[in-house]
Amino acid sequence: MKKYEAVIILNPNLSSKASDFEKDFEKLLKSNSFSIQKKEDVGRRQLAYSINNHNKGHYLLFNIEGDASKLIDIENKIKYNESIIRHLFISVKEHNGEDSQLLQDSKNKKNDSEEKAVDKDKNQQSKSSESNEKQQVKEKMVEADQDDKVDNSSESPELEKEEQKEQEDKDE
């Protein structure tokens, strides 16, 4: 029995039916005497280049074990499936027990995007609080300026009267 890794990229428009396809593919594998060691539904990802006018694809990964002659039958059966935009079977010596690099990257991107969203919210909150503080400072400055003007305007007539008296005294 040989070990294989299978990568299947589905039409992204059929992401909602990915679980149905996954079940059908498992039945196909089992009917051809393949055992499934591990399966991963990576989800929708950006493709490196456009395939059949699709820029995204829904990725499914399988670690399988079975007879090489049966693998040809499986490939022939899935080759003409219109929901599959690409497939690849790779022979491996041993299956890796960890998550695939593709799944890890997807998880990291999700975590990064969640962290960015949280940071963005925090930045917006701090900016709004800073702008509120600035607005309050501006309002206080305007109030202080208005108070000074009121004080100066109330002193001005008295000063003017005193100055006029001094001028009159000097003139006499």
118 pLDDT above the threshold of 70: no
| 133/153 Cα distance (integer angstroms) | 30
Q: What is the mean pLDDT of the chain?
A: 79
What one-character DSSP code corresponds to residue 54?
Answer: E
Res 30: pLDDT:
93
pLDDT tens for each residue of 54-109 = 899 999 999 999 998 898 889 988 888 888 999 999 998 886 766 665 666 766 66
128 pLDDT above the threshold of 80: no
Mean pLDDT value of segment 159-167: 73
Q: Which two tokens stand for residue 111?
A: 């975590």
Instruction: Please give the C-alpha separations between residue 103 and each of 7, 61, 120, in angstroms, as whole numbers.
Output: 12, 9, 25
Give all domains of the chain, ordered by start, each with its CATH number: 2-97 (3.30.70.60)
Mean pLDDT value of segment 3-22: 87
* Contact status, residue 64 vs residue 4, Cβ threshold 8 Å: yes
Q: pTM here?
A: 0.58
Res 98: pLDDT:
64
